[in-house]
Amino acid sequence: MKNTAIQCDVKSCEYNCQDCNYCSLESIKVGTHEAHPTQCACTDCKSFKLKENCCK
């Protein structure tokens, strides 16, 4: 079931609603891999999980 409060188009994620651009989780955690994030690309969805049998 899509969560319309969380838009996401990462199709390789287990939790992505594949026929729409939403996450199916109730909530997600967002974090960073940078010491001092300054732009969008510095942020990550920490709830991401690689979809099974994806990208092989």
Pair of tokens at residue 17 = 């609603």
Which C-beta is closer to ligand SF4: that of 12 or that of 34?
12
Which C-beta is closer to ligand SF4: that of 45 or that of 54?
45
N-terminal to C-terminal alpha carbon distance within the chain: 26
Q: Is residue 21 a contact residue for ligand SF4 (CB under 6 A)? A: no
Q: How far is CA 32 from CA 37, 52, 55, in A?
A: 7, 24, 24
Which C-beta is closer to ligand SF4: that of 11 or that of 34?
11
Backbone torsions φ then ψ of 13, nearest 5 degrees: -90, 140
Where on the chain is the footprint of ligand SF4 (CB under 6 A)? Answer: 6, 8, 10, 13, 15-16, 23, 25, 28, 45, 47-48
